[in-house]
Structures are given as structure tokens and as C-alpha cells.
Structure 1
Amino acid sequence: MAGSAEQPELSGFARIVNEIEENAIALILGLMVVVTFVNVVLRYVFSSSLIWGQELTLVLFAWLVVFGVSYGFKVTAHLGVDAILNLLSQRGQRTLGLIAALCCLAYAGLLMKGAWDYWAPFAGLDATTGRWFPTGFADSRDQAWYETEQIPIPILKGWLEATFNFGEEYEKLPRFIPYAIMPFGCALILFRIVQASLRIVTGKQKSLIVSHEAEDAVEDVAARNAGE
């Protein structure tokens, strides 16, 4: 993709994260297509439907959006306004890129705290204390018994009930499972911003947003064609 930062060889933890991210995006897209297609066939051919299909598709779409945000930082695909950035020298562009990266890191950290604090009670865990930064953990009202509207539990029903619901029966999928994308996805976003920031520091990337290499290439071709 034009404007993407050159991706170095990955190793260790970064490679594992990369594989999880790309496989998850592919799996989510595939599941959304399958569930939607099956629902369409059932509705128009058999006058039936998967009652949980729409809710599952919405959950998968939310997961896809969060994974897409982190993936956008990885491939430098996020859009941004660079009118001022392009007026500066290379050093100035790098400085503004670092300032923007620091702001994104601070925001991602706050987002991570908020995501954990929202999700934790649904998993029977404790939210953090502190307004801006975690200073510890405080007892939270257990909300692990909250369920989705229609999505069934495909596997591990007994284990989920014994581990998170004091042995009480779940009729539908507990909400902490689809909501888990919030802390996990925010942690992934934070990780990708750290990676992008390091690329800016080392000069491999000038900003967090997509560049205009594609536009420049089109203009060059147009200029050459006009001169023929």
C-alpha cells in the first residue's frame, strides 16, 4: 500500500502479535460472510433465520473495527491532515510526528484504562482506581451474569458457568466474551502506536498518517504523458 512504512522482519513477540491480528481479521471477515449468507438463504428459501445471526454479525463487526484501527497504525493507513506538516523541513516533520505519536500514546493509554474498567466487572474482575492512571484495584459490582440477547454458547458452557458465574447456568453467551475485544483491542492499538513511534524515532517513518506517494506517482505519470 502506498504510504505504508516499510515493514521490517518480525521476530518473537511482534511476529506472534502480527499473526494473531491478521488471522483474526481474516477469520472475522469470513465468519461475517458465512453467517450473513446462511441467514439470507434461510430467510428467502426456507422462510426461517438464525435468530442470533444479526447480533453475532454486529459483534463481529465491532471486533473488526477495533482490529482495523490497530492494523491501520501498523501499515500507516490512517488518514490525517498534513497541510502544515508538508511546509516543514524533514527535521520539523519528524518533530511534529513525534509530538503526534506522544499524544496518541497518551490517548491510547487512557483508552486502555477505560476499556479495562468497563470490561472487568463483566468478567467478575476489579476495575482500576485513579482518574487518569491506574493506582490500584477496587472492588467492582460483579456483572459476570450478564448475557447477550440471543447468541448461544458454542463450547465450554460448564466451565464458563463454574469459573465466572458461581456455577449458575448461562442461557446465552455471557457478555464479557464479546466485550473482551475492548481491553485486548486497546492493548493492541497501544502496541502498534509504540511500534510506529519507534519507527519515527529511527527515521523509518515520518508520521502516523498515510502519505501522498500514490498521488505523486499519478501526477508524475500524467506529466510524462502530457509531454509525449
Structure 2
Amino acid sequence: MKRDFLFSYYRTLRGEVLRRQETDYLQRSITVSCKQTILQIGALGWETELVDCSLYKYYAILDAEGAGAPAAKKIRAEASRLPLQCDSVDMIILPHFLEFDPCRLQTMREVERVLKPEGILVVVNFNPWSLRIRYEYLWERQKHDAWSGHFISRTRVVDWLKLLNFEVILFTEFNAKSVRSTHGKFMENCYSLSASAYAIKAIKRRYNIIPLTPVYQTKPRLVLVNPINSTTRIGS
């Protein structure tokens, strides 16, 4: 399984703290109505801690292996080819999925396609500049080479979102002792080396182009010839 590193890290002491922080963050992020459609790409196994699956009837987990909480609805498919209609999902969650997806760019295009205008996207990734995560990564590769992923920086994810007409509204970092969130102009300077993971919350914007009608220059109907001479003659 490509995400073995994720679940093995969650079993460590620091990983357990990170899992609780991410669970609380995702639980607070899901603020849409129970009748709206929420899609989680990549199973975690503890989705019942995020939402009440009996209450959120339109909460579905898309996973290539059909994994996830037993109480949640599941879609067995590839993320790079989502079997969903365009503009049909209100919220999409990507919890540590892009790092293990070889077709991550195509997946982002599919996310943009199926998400409704003004829909919410939440991306959770490991912090590539964290020394602790790098150490766990090297230790995991020494044991059985179960990483099979690729670290993605926050700036790269933001660039992808901008190209797809997403507006980033919130940036969150998960440290061992605290969770820090920033928004607006302060997001550019907020980057910690001690954070184990980060989350980005964005909104899909759709800008409609207003066509401009051509303006034709019309000729005046009345034209005065030599108006100065005409008034002079009339006065004389």
C-alpha cells in the first residue's frame, strides 16, 4: 500500500498527537449542511471521528482499495478519473493523499472539475522541511522502503491552486504542542520548520467573462459649415 508510511507514523507518539490535531481540524472544517455532498479522497479509517456518517448521508470516501470506516459510503475508483459529474460536490478533503499520488496534477484538475463554484477544498500534507519527518522517512526506508511518495511544499500546492482559480483563505500548521492558523497577507511569512504537517483551505472561484459590445462611431446628422463666418454675416 502506498500510504504505509502515513499509518506507521500515526502509530508513533508524535504521530498520535498529529492524528488528533488533524482530526480536530478536519472536524471543525466540515461546516457544510448535512444535505450537501462531501467527498474525501483517500481513506483514513477513523472517518466516524470526523462526521456522524448516519447524519451526513452524502459523505463519501473515494479510495482505490475501498478502504475507510465501515459506516461511511465508499467509492472505489482512481482519483485521477473521478466518476462524478462536473460541479456536483460541495466540499473535497485530501488528507495526505497528494504525496502518494503519482498523478497528483491530474487529480487536482479532477478536483476542480467536480467541485461546485464557491466549493471548499481542504488539503493536508506533511511538512517537507520538518527534520522529524525527514528522520522518520529515512528510518522507514531503512526498514522496508514503504514510503513510495513525494514531499510537496506549501508554495507548490498554492501555485497549483492559483492556476486552477482557487483562492486560499486559511493556512494551518500542526506542531507537536500547538496548532497555528493564519489567513490573509500573513500566510506568506508563516512557515515553521518544526511543524510536522500543514493544511490549506481554499475556495473554488469561477469568474464569468462579460463580453463587451462593440461601439460604432455614428456620424452626426447636422453639420455646420464655417460656423464662425456664418455668425459674423448674420450679425452684420
TM-score range, shorter chain: under 0.3
- TM-score under structure 2 normalisation? 0.23
When you count helix as a share of all residues, which structure comes out higher?
1
When you count strand as a share of all residues, which structure comes out higher?
2
Q: Could you say which structure has the greater relative contact order, defined with CA pairs below 8 angstroms and 6 or more residues apart?
A: 1
- TM-score under structure 1 normalisation? 0.23
